[in-house]
Structure 1
Amino acid sequence: MLHNAPMESFFHTLKTELAHHRQYQTRTEAKRDIFAFIEGFYNRTRIHSAIEYIALIQMELKAA
């Protein structure tokens, strides 16, 4: 059985920390903002409890 809890958690974070605070005029504007959130904050800065409270990029560097 596949569990989608990590994705549900991600989308909850995306909605509460970004999307619910903005009203986008175009799809392009939303895509640009969401990309910046994921690449600039979520992967590089935000700490994750599932991986010992470090950022995803730090975990990837440790694994390399």
Structure 2
Amino acid sequence: MEKAQKNKGLSFTMIVVALILGPTLYKQFNFETYSFEKPALAALYLIVFIAAVAMLIKDFVAKKRG
């Protein structure tokens, strides 16, 4: 498998992960009490969401540079 093809698959996967976890975190957050319904699960979701967004940004910057 070519490296470009592999990166494209990884990028698509991270987009899907970010699109699922973003709204999930938003739905679990209670704006009246400023807390999450399930704090441990929300922490895990947040870590994975940040990692996915970081990978997407890293991939985008690498493509810009050539």
Structure-1-length-normalised TM-score = 0.36
Structure showing greater Rg: 2
Larger RCO, structure (CA 8 Å, separation 6 or more): 2
Structure-2-length-normalised TM-score = 0.35
